[in-house]
Amino acid sequence: MPESLEHWQPAKRPHKGIIEGRYIRLEKLDPKRHGEDLWLAFEGPQGDPKLWDYMGYGPFGERGVFEQWLNNNATSLDPYFYTVIDLATGQAQGILSLMSIVPEHGRIEIGHVTFGAPMQRSPKSTEAVYLLAKESFALGNRRLEWKCDNGNARSKRTAVRLGYTYEGVFRQHMVIKGKNRDTTWYSIISTEWPSIAQGFEKWLALDNQPKSGQIKTLEECRALTD
């Protein structure tokens, strides 16, 4: 029989201004405090030229246009944007959001993931997604989504690595920058999250320095919880 949801209550909306981690801290996006760092992280000399390839916006050739984009994001409630602060340096190095927020069905998505070069392929990027996933289920959601352009191999690999389940492709789903976008869907549901969370927590507890015999991947850590 289907699970009874007779006593289930709608999820809460995102409301936390600060979420603390080991490597990073998530803060509600504030263009006045975070704008300079984010401009350097995204558009500075060390910026990743491929960062905007699959986004519906960017790159930003003018600082004023970038600041307007940040201001619009900061006032939005859906998506609800966070800035990623590197605890070691105090610098803002990326943003991401909770979006497609449907409390009455307990559904939410992590999206607009935009990490500057210092965050990419580091524990900071993994922890940022983990902290928002943890917050999503703490708010009472039953389903956490991840969607990306079907051509975005990097995002698709990330979804699988982080424990999301592939659900399929929505063909001709959107038009982005004058091009067709087929959208790939992934999800984590509430019954899967405890095991996935344990894998994250074991991995983040490591010092992530090369040592002989040390477990290094999320997949290996999750295997210990199965």
- What does the pLDDT look like over 105-153, one tens digit per residue? 999 999 999 999 889 888 999 999 999 999 999 999 999 999 999 999 9
Is 8 a member of any domain?
no
Owner of token pair 């899967």? 192
Is 40 a member of any domain?
yes
The CATH number of residue 128's host domain is 3.40.630.30
The pTM of the full predicted model, rounded to 2 decimals, is 0.92
**Selected residue with higher pLDDT from 68 and 61:** 68
Query: Which structural domain range is residue 186 located in?
Result: 18-223
| Residue 208 pLDDT class (50, 70, 90 cuts) | low
Is 219 a member of any domain?
yes
pLDDT of residue 74: 98
Secondary structure class of 175 (helix, strand, coil):
strand
Strands 92-102 and 165-176: unpaired
User: Which residues, 6 or more positions from 41, have their beta carbon under 8 angstroms from its beta carbon?
Assistant: 47, 91, 92, 93, 94, 116, 117, 118, 119
How many structural domains compose the chain?
Answer: 1
Does position 13 have pLDDT exceeding 90, yes or no? Answer: yes
Does position 101 have pLDDT exceeding 50, yes or no? Answer: yes
Is 13 a member of any domain?
no
Question: What mean pLDDT comes out for the span 191-218?
Answer: 76
Secondary structure class of 224 (helix, strand, coil):
coil
pLDDT of residue 4: 82
pLDDT of residue 213: 44
| Residue 154 pLDDT class (50, 70, 90 cuts) | very high
Is 211 a member of any domain?
yes
Is 96 a member of any domain?
yes
Is 5 a member of any domain?
no
Is 138 a member of any domain?
yes
User: Which residues, 6 or more positions from 75, have their beta carbon under 8 angstroms from its beta carbon?
Assistant: none
User: Which residues, 6 or more positions from 90, have their beta carbon under 8 angstroms from its beta carbon?
Assistant: none
